[in-house]
Amino acid sequence: MPERLIPGDLAPDFTLKNAEGQDVSLNAYRGRSTVVYFYPAASTPGCTKEACDFRDSLAFLRTAGYEVLGISPDPVDKLARFAAAEGLNFPLLSDADHAVAEAYGAWGEKKNYGRSYEGLIRSTVVIGPEGTITVAQYNVRATGHVAKLRRDLKLDG
């Protein structure tokens, strides 16, 4: 099982392709707080609910000083369809080889209906402006997660 990150850890840098096939680097977000959330699969019910919650909270989060990046193992073309279908207004990044998820402790053993397998663990990491982890949450619930995150960050709204 990969090591999970904890507050105070330096966030592993990464560069991934977004839904338009362009490179997006975490380094470009230095100087701002960034919510990086890992979700298992675009266009599935839970992931759609979570993405739409981030979409609907984005203006509030940006006003509070936070950017949002969504990362999944989906290929770029699937991310593009997902973003278009749901009107998503923040970058979705493709981590097809799950190297970034592994670096963030968001890839590992999952259990479903009694069977174990390797997969993406729904997780959210908040990175401060200086590049260190301020919040690390693993095995989060898709429904209500953004509201809980806002409470955890002590953001009113």
Q: What share of the chain is helix, strand, coil (3-state, %, to 5)?
A: 30, 30, 40
Token pair, residue 91, equals 């970058």
Active site residues: 47
Q: What pLDDT, in 10s, does the model give residues 15-45?
A: 999 999 999 999 999 999 999 999 999 999 8
Q: How far is CA 99 from CA 13, 14, 22, 131, in A?
A: 11, 9, 18, 19
Superfamily holding 15-152: Glutaredoxin (3.40.30.10)
pLDDT in tens, 76-107: 999 999 999 999 999 999 999 999 999 999 99
Any idea where the domains of the chain sit in the sequence?
15-152
DSSP secondary-structure letter at 12?
Answer: P
